[in-house]
Structure 1
């Protein structure tokens, strides 16, 4: 026959284990899912609010600044500088062709973006934004291969592109995604257009081992800076759109739609 003291101790031990498990379960619900809590830099914007666009404008402005150094909580890498490991573009015609490869490109200045306007269309699942970027500094390595008529051109080295007073337009398309009984926003496409007022290029100084030719090419690039950017822009905008699409979804997947945009 078990002694009363031992029976009591056994009961208390069992009770302690049960309560311990309950406490662990409670802790996992309340503190083990930190991503379910909207961080301070994201505003909760109500769709019925007549100032919804202003609220979203403020929320996106805060998010851009907060993501400068990235977020380990949201698994988002730093965006300023933003790094693009590899980018390739080609332009060709009968008289001239150019294949340009950019490597280890770093873009600095994105978090100085000022959001000017936001138009939110929750019915069509679309956001339209306009913004100003005081400056963008782009640096990396390049390899250029091409020809003008029968004259071959080969160049490689470091490059820098400086843009100032740029206007940017974003159009973001998204859809609602059901996960475990909750609706989340998921970005389908991130269209981006950047229009700088001024552009300055420096694509190295050596072209076919001829320094004079390299300097002439650099002069040509800067005298035709906007035309050159027009050629490069589609590929760069597509790449940036994909990066921002990924970052946006990385943030949105942590919070149900009714948490960020309740009625």
Structure 2
């Protein structure tokens, strides 16, 4: 299996989480652990909570997430890959989270696992980039502005957690793992400044990237998923760890 090193830098984006005895915001629908229709309740609660989180929320000390600013992200490819890239973004914006439509949400109390399925009509990445390496047999180098748009993106993500706290009353659910999988129906790529700004080479490479977007995404996808998982873990902990486990999911 190809291992792709990914570095995500989010400096100063999140404030410290709330004290464990802070009240839940009013928009959070509380679901009881003994509810026989817990997953239905959890889905309704997640649908109501999501737009409040995406638009930023002072109660959870979360800034506005659309656009979502990432100060640095590097996706490095292995030498044995057909697409051997090292792609670095700086001060990029991820745009489109506000239009996310939640399709399903499930909770496993025994495994302390949360699973979500959602659709994003458009997910766009804009900002400075630098790339070096090769795509198939073609070398690629460049530095400039990027505009990468994923269309009709199906997203599955899972959060794994553990309970932390010295007493049952102070226990909080802490996210310690996350997995994200994206499946777009199309991807459009526009990289300005390829090959030192040489117009013909740059235009031809962008055409090639767009014509072969599935192959490009297939190679970069593990790294992108890993980067998104890092972000999801930060957001998940900011929300879930803000209150005690019994506040979040009362026993009855």
2:92 paired with 1:105: yes
Q: How far apart are residue 96 of structure 1 and its match?
A: 7.0
Q: How far apart are residue 95 of structure 1 and its match?
A: 8.1
Q: How far apart are residue 236 of structure 1 and its match?
A: 1.8
Q: 1:72 aligns with which of 58, 65, 77?
A: 58
Residues in 2 aligned to 1:94 and 1:123: alpha-carbon distance in whole angstroms: 39
Q: How far apart are residue 179 of structure 1 and its match?
A: 4.8
Change (3 A) 1:219 1:243: same
Residues in 2 aligned to 1:246 and 1:157: alpha-carbon distance in whole angstroms: 29
TM-score (norm 2): 0.83
Q: Which residue does the alignment assign to 2:244?
A: 256
Q: Which residue does the alignment assign to 2:232?
A: 244
Q: 1:85 aligns with which of 67, 71, 80?
A: 71
Is contact 1:112-1:134 (8 Å) kept? yes
Instruction: Map Cα deviations across residues 53-99 of structure 1 (whole Å, 9 max, x no partner).
Output: 12111222222211223223322222111111111122234987432
Residues in 2 aligned to 1:40 and 1:148: alpha-carbon distance in whole angstroms: 50
Is contact 1:81-1:108 (8 Å) kept? yes
Larger radius of gyration: 1
Q: How far apart are residue 50 of structure 1 and its match?
A: 2.0
Is contact 2:164-2:172 (8 Å) kept? yes
Q: How far apart are residue 36 of structure 1 and its match?
A: 2.0
Residues in 2 aligned to 1:155 and 1:122: alpha-carbon distance in whole angstroms: 48
Q: How far apart are residue 119 of structure 1 and its match?
A: 2.2
2:50 paired with 1:60: no
Change (3 A) 1:97 1:131: closer
Q: Which residue does the alignment assign to 1:195?
A: 183
Residues in 2 aligned to 1:200 and 1:238: alpha-carbon distance in whole angstroms: 21
Q: Map 1:24-35 onto structure 2 (within 5 A).
A: none
Q: Which residue does the alignment assign to 1:210?
A: 198
Change (3 A) 1:148 1:42: closer
Change (3 A) 1:224 1:153: closer
Change (3 A) 1:62 1:179: farther
Q: Which residue does the alignment assign to 1:120?
A: 107
Runs (5+) with no aligned partner, structure 1: 1-32
SS of 1:173's partner is strand
Residues in 2 aligned to 1:96 and 1:132: alpha-carbon distance in whole angstroms: 27
Q: Which residue does the alignment assign to 2:146?
A: 159
Is contact 1:205-1:218 (8 Å) kept? no
Is contact 1:35-1:74 (8 Å) kept? no
Higher helix share: 1
TM-score (norm 1): 0.80
Residues in 2 aligned to 1:128 and 1:239: alpha-carbon distance in whole angstroms: 18
Q: Which residue does the alignment assign to 1:185?
A: 173
Runs (5+) with no aligned partner, structure 2: 1-18
